[in-house]
Chains A and B, each alone.
Chain A
Amino acid sequence: MDSNKRSNCSRPLLGTRHECIGAIGLIVAVAVISQFLDDYFLTLLTTISIYALAGMGLNLLMGNTGLISIAHAGFMGVGAFSSAYLIHDVGLPVLLSIILAGLITSAVGMFFGLPSLRLKGVYLAMASFAAQIILYWAFEVSRWFTGGQDGRFVDRPTILGVSFFESNHYYLFVLAFTVIGAIVNFNILRSKLGRAFSAVRDRAIAAELMGINVFRTKMAAFGLSTFYAGVAGALFGFYLEFVAIQAFTLFISIQFLAMVIIGGLGKVSGSILGAAFIVILPEVMDSIALMITPNAGEMAPIRMGVFGLIVVVFLIYEPHGLARSWRRFVDWGLARMGVNR
């Protein structure tokens, strides 16, 4: 392993110059291309970006800090309903509402994270599992906030007279958040906080003796992670223009977990690749399923089964996720082309 590659995160700047230019080029390309796509592809792209944002949050918690949350769909719901409530019932401006929604989610997330100081592995998983169930029930019961089973409508945002109503314009809105989210994520990973996260994950007691406040670090992880989820939830609500509690079930939480595991734990690229994978997979499967069975009723379970199978296969054969596969692929390609990094 080339020693210069692994510590990008600790450098004062984002990786190498080439990687920087490459990343900016990619973002601009996606932004431009998105303006010419039809609604189907825009839906995919927007969902991927929003999921990637939520995935980054979950990955900070799971991959980087070694904690677990089976409640991220629930947290996303808190963000979605909060922003809808703040905009339509309180009348706050859109951007402020999104930030506040993030902070509210953060507060809820930290509350459920409070026992994490003393909880280990499975017990923490159970606690967050309970959080998902409790949050979903709270959504059902709080009609004033969520509209209960009926859900509630949200308008796509208009900021300073610029409307993001059209799907291609709204995509740019989402992309901006995802890019900022990714930059912040990189910054976290290469500074004190990121080091504290992995120190707590790898050796909590040693970390504490190095002067790291383990409790505060875990709280920061929960707070940040759920902030991402809250903002992602708000963006998701605007996109659908209708927030329904069914979008935040246990199964979606499980999908998020699968997303970061398949993508690659602890890596920003993992969050993005995982989101792309989890969004595109059902589409690909649907076209395959259509060949096998014309019966639409059978498609849902087939989709579900394959999803489960892929999770299991990934965990056994590629536990480091797509980020690792991608890295290997790039290295292999570069080696073939005779490029020496």
Chain B
Amino acid sequence: MDYFLALVVNGIIVGSIYSVVALGLVLIYKATEVVNFAQGELLMIGAYICLEIIVKTGMPFIPAFLMSMGFMAILALIIERVVLRKMLEAPVMSVIMVTVGIGVILRAVVILVWKAISIPFPEIFSREGVSLGFITIGQVYIWSFVLTLIFMGLFGAFFKYTRIGLVMRATASSRKAAESMGVPLTKVFALAWVISAVVSCVGGVLAGNIAGLSPELSFYGIKVFPAVILGGLDSIVGASISGVIIGVLENLGGGYIKDLTGIRGLGPVAPFFVLVGILWIRPTGLFGKKEIERV
């Protein structure tokens, strides 16, 4: 039982980072109908930038964190302006491909600058364990979980209570209607990218804190796909919850199924089996909107 609980708690904590990344993905999709295949690379870049600022300037963590968020905002603006704005009319396939291309470029830059090796993140949160009774967890995990919750709350409040948040929600629910009401679409698109990049930066720094930095961090972008399919590409709440579900599933898959069947490496793949399964049953995800087709 303790083993089970340990796996679940671990899953929730890792999953909370998935939730953050999924949030970024859903944000862009909702506003612009683009599935960003470079989300993982944004996360990775964010983490590296934060590390670089801390190491090079000796700045304390919080201002460095904020600065790297600013950097990511600018990067997102450039990507949106230079590339995606030109793809507004392009077919889905091309848009997906262009984000893949951006991802490849960002990855190349990281490997060129920081090499394809693992770099430990300066210890900001202690790795020392805290006992929760049935399980001992490193403080860094608890901190990352708490920070995730805080940021999710902040973004939630932003969408719920601010004017810009309202405008973005309106655009997401009907682009045409929003446009006819005078919403400047390009600004909304740009803002969606900026927020999404900032969110990824948070995810990246937290993930980096836990496991150190390497180009492998970009796999978060891939791992989060099952979560957004589970939660529905257009549902922020759904994506957040299913991020956690996927995290738990991954841990259980890696733990139990390995012990039961002796099949190795099932953990990271298990969510993708779930993804295929869901798409078999519900073609637009578990909570996704059904589209009505017209002739």
Bound CA–CA A48/B273 (angstroms): 34
Which of A119, A125, A130 is the one whose CB lies under 8 Å from B96?
A125
Bound CA–CA A308/B105 (angstroms): 5
Q: Size of chain A's interface in residues, with CB distance under 8 A?
A: 46
Instruction: Check: A118 CB closer than 8 A to any chain B CB.
Output: yes
Residues in A neighbouring B98, C-beta threshold 8 A: 311-312, 315-316
Which of A121, A302, A309, A316 is the one whose CB lies under 8 Å from B86?
A316
User: Looking at chain B, what size class is its interface with the partner chain?
Assistant: 35 or more
Instruction: Check: A298 CB closer than 8 A to any chain B CB.
Output: yes
Residues in B neighbouring A298, C-beta threshold 8 A: 112
Bound CA–CA A302/B111 (angstroms): 9
Bound CA–CA A206/B225 (angstroms): 32
Residues in B neighbouring A115, C-beta threshold 8 A: 276, 279-280, 283
Contact B104 A137 (CB under 8 A): no
Residues in A neighbouring B94, C-beta threshold 8 A: 261, 315, 319
Closest to B285 in A: A123
Residues in A neighbouring B272, C-beta threshold 8 A: 130, 133-134
Kindly identify, within residues 159 to 199 of chain B, every residue whose CB is under 8 Å from any CB belonging to chain A: none
Kindly identify, within residues 249 to 276 of chain B, every residue whose CB is under 8 Å from any CB belonging to chain A: 263-266, 268-269, 272-273, 275-276
Instruction: Check: A216 CB closer than 8 A to any chain B CB.
Output: no
Which of A120, A258, A315 is the one whose CB lies under 8 Å from B283?
A120
Contact B108 A305 (CB under 8 A): yes
Instruction: Check: A129 CB closer than 8 A to any chain B CB.
Output: yes
Residues in A neighbouring B93, C-beta threshold 8 A: 62, 66, 68, 121, 125, 261
Which of A205, A261, A301, A315 is the one whose CB lies under 8 Å from B293?
A205
Which of A68, A254, A316 is the one whose CB lies under 8 Å from B87?
A316
- Add 11 more A-B contacts to A122-B96, A123-B284 (CB < 8 A): A68-B93, A120-B291, A122-B29, A123-B229, A123-B283, A133-B272, A140-B265, A209-B295, A254-B104, A308-B101, A312-B83
Chosen A-B contacts, 17 in total, with CB atoms closer than 8 Å, are A66-B93, A119-B279, A121-B92, A123-B229, A123-B279, A123-B285, A125-B93, A127-B276, A254-B100, A298-B112, A305-B109, A311-B100, A312-B98, A315-B90, A315-B98, A316-B87, A319-B94
